[in-house]
């Protein structure tokens, strides 16, 4: 048994927000209340700390199989726990891609050895060929929780329609990375800074929002659910909002980097600030925040994309891979750039990092209640910390190194067990 004393217990599902105790037994929350007592129990003093549902990230890259010099499922799990996450969803752009039941089972077997909940999507198309659908039914039966070709957009409208209908037939949905390659130049660089500073055509806004417009209208016509990954443009938010008002079942996520920083960070942090989609303009950053405030964007997801230092630190920035490690800074970026900045309440931030992603996939997670799952994160929402290269992840490709951010995770508890305890706890 585990007794958490005197914490600010916050449950975004019910709106519960009270300083009290939480008693955990086995994998369940046994009791929530004042002055709880239990014999032979480990006690965690949460005075001055927030006790929230374990965070959920529906967009991570753990690089297994085939790219484990960047990250693997074990180090990814360590990074997740250090960031306060108890449930994550892995993307399928591995080597080989997670396109077959055999590869999926290998990944799930590896994930089951870890002490947090690690789920996986499978690819929409076979080996990312963009043309031939994988066996959705067989992959779902083998343990996939959804489908995404994240990293590569689906160019064919015919395939998008087929995928939406096949997913719907099987009671699920598809997640899409929206960057039309025929409208884009060199990826990872927003079009303005690419032209003005680097002298080439970069990643255009229209490549993102035109593809989103196309695909949400296909979802509208087929009456199916579509999820838009890491949108970054003001127009993208408007397009999703328009489709939602039409009654289309479209959901969307934003990554912390896109509500925190703009393209200028590329000049300060170089290769580590290169990502797809790229950091955009201040008007885009504010529009993403407005989307989070209004509920048009219901989920915050990191797009945790670790890379080996030798790959990331090449001299030619155009040759550096895109992406940043994100699990260990996500909560702090939300606390700093959304809560402290006055855009969201702490409860609203937690909603987008717990119950909303849980409900999107139907996970039994993301809330705190008696008889509910004993997945929790305990953190100091006001303490400041300096971001250093000392990550639990294999990778340190973060543009936030050297920045002081709000929020320190003290404990992460999954299935009633402490899976992370900070040195300061």
Q: Which residues are annotated as a binding site for substrate?
A: 61-63, 93, 276, 307
Q: Which residues are annotated as a binding site for Zn(2+)?
A: 59, 61, 150, 177, 230, 303
Whether 2-50+372-421 shares its CATH topology with 54-361 is answered no
At 65-79, the pLDDT tens digits run 999 999 999 999 999
CATH number of this structure's domain 2-50+372-421, picked from the four choices 3.40.50.150, 2.30.40.10, 3.40.50.1220, 3.40.30.10: 2.30.40.10
pLDDT at 423: 53
pLDDT at 424: 45
Spans in the chain with pLDDT lower than 50: 424-425
pLDDT at 422: 61
Catalytic center residues: 303
* HEC-encoded secondary structure of the chain: CEEEEEEEEEECCCCEEEEEEEEEECCEEEEEECCCCCCCCEEEECCCCEEEECEEEEEECCCCCCCCCCCCHHHHHHHHHHCCEEEEEECCCCCCCCCCHHHHHHHHHHHCCCCCEEEECECCEHHHCCCCECCHHHHHHCCCCCEECCCCCCCCHHHHHHHHHHHHHCCCCEEECCCCHHHCCCCCCEHHHHHHHHCCCCECHHHHHHHHHHHHHHHHHHCCEEEECCCCCHHHHHHHHHHHHHCCEEEEEECHHHHHCCCCHHHHHHHHHCCCCCCCCHHHHHHHHHHHHHCCCCEECCCECCCCHHHHCCCCHHHCCCCECCCCCHHHHHHHHHHCCCCCCHHHHHHHHCHHHHHHHCCCCCCCCCCCECCEEEEEEEEEEECCCCCCCCCCCCCCCCCEEEEEEEEEEECCEEEEECCCC
pLDDT at 425: 44
What is the second-level CATH architecture of the domain 54-361?
A: Alpha-Beta Barrel (3.20)
Cut 0.95: pTM above it: yes
Domains of the chain, residue spans: 2-50+372-421, 54-361
């Amino acid at each position: 048994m585990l007794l958490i004393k005197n914490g600010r217990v916050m449950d975004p599902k019910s709106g519960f927000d009270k300083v009290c105790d939480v008693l955990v037994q086995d994998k369940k929350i046994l009791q929530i209340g004042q002055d709880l007592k239990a014999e032979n129990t480990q006690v965690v003093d949460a005075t001055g700390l927030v006790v929230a549902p374990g965070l959920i990230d529906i967009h991570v890259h753990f690089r297994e199989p085939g790219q484990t010099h960047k990250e693997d499922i074990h180090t990814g799990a360590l990074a997740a726990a250090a960031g306060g996450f108890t449930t994550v969803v892995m993307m399928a752009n591995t080597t080989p891609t997670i396109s077959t039941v055999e590869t999926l089972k290998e990944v799930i077997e590896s994930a089951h050895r870890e002490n947090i909940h690690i789920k996986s999507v499978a690819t929409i198309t076979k080996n990312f060929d963009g043309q031939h659908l994988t066996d959705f039914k067989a992959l779902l039966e083998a343990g996939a929780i959804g489908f995404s070709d994240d990293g590569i957009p689906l160019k064919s409208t015919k395939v998008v329609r087929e995928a939406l209908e096949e997913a719907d037939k099987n009671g699920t949905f598809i997640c899409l990375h929206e960057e039309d390659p025929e409208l884009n130049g060199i990826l990872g660089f927003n079009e303005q800074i690419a032209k003005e500073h680097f002298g080439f055509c970069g990643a255009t806004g229209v490549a993102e929002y035109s593809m989103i417009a196309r695909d949400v209208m296909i979802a509208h016509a087929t009456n199916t659910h579509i999820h838009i990954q890491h949108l970054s443009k003001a127009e993208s938010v408007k397009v999703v909002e328009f489709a939602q008002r039409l009654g289309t079942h479209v959901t969307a996520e934003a990554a912390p980097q896109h509500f925190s920083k703009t393209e200028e960070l590329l000049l300060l942090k170089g290769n580590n600030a290169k990502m797809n989609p790229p950091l955009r303009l201040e008007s885009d950053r504010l529009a993403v925040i407005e989307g989070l405030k209004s509920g048009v964007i219901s989920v915050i997801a990191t797009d945790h994309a670790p890379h080996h230092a030798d790959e990331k630190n090449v001299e030619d920035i155009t040759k550096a891979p895109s992406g940043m490690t994100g699990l260990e800074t996500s909560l702090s970026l939300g606390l700093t750039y959304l809560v402290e900045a006055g855009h969201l309440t702490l409860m609203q931030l937690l909603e987008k990092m717990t119950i909303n992603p849980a409900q999107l996939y139907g996970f039994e997670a993301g809330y705190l209640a008696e008889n509910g799952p004993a997945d929790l994160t305990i953190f100091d929402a006001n303490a400041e910390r300096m971001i250093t290269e000392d990550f639990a992840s294999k990778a340190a490709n973060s543009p936030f190194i050297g920045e002081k951010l709000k929020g320190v995770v003290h404990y992460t508890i999954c299935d009633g067990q402490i899976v992370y305890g900070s040195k300061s706890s």
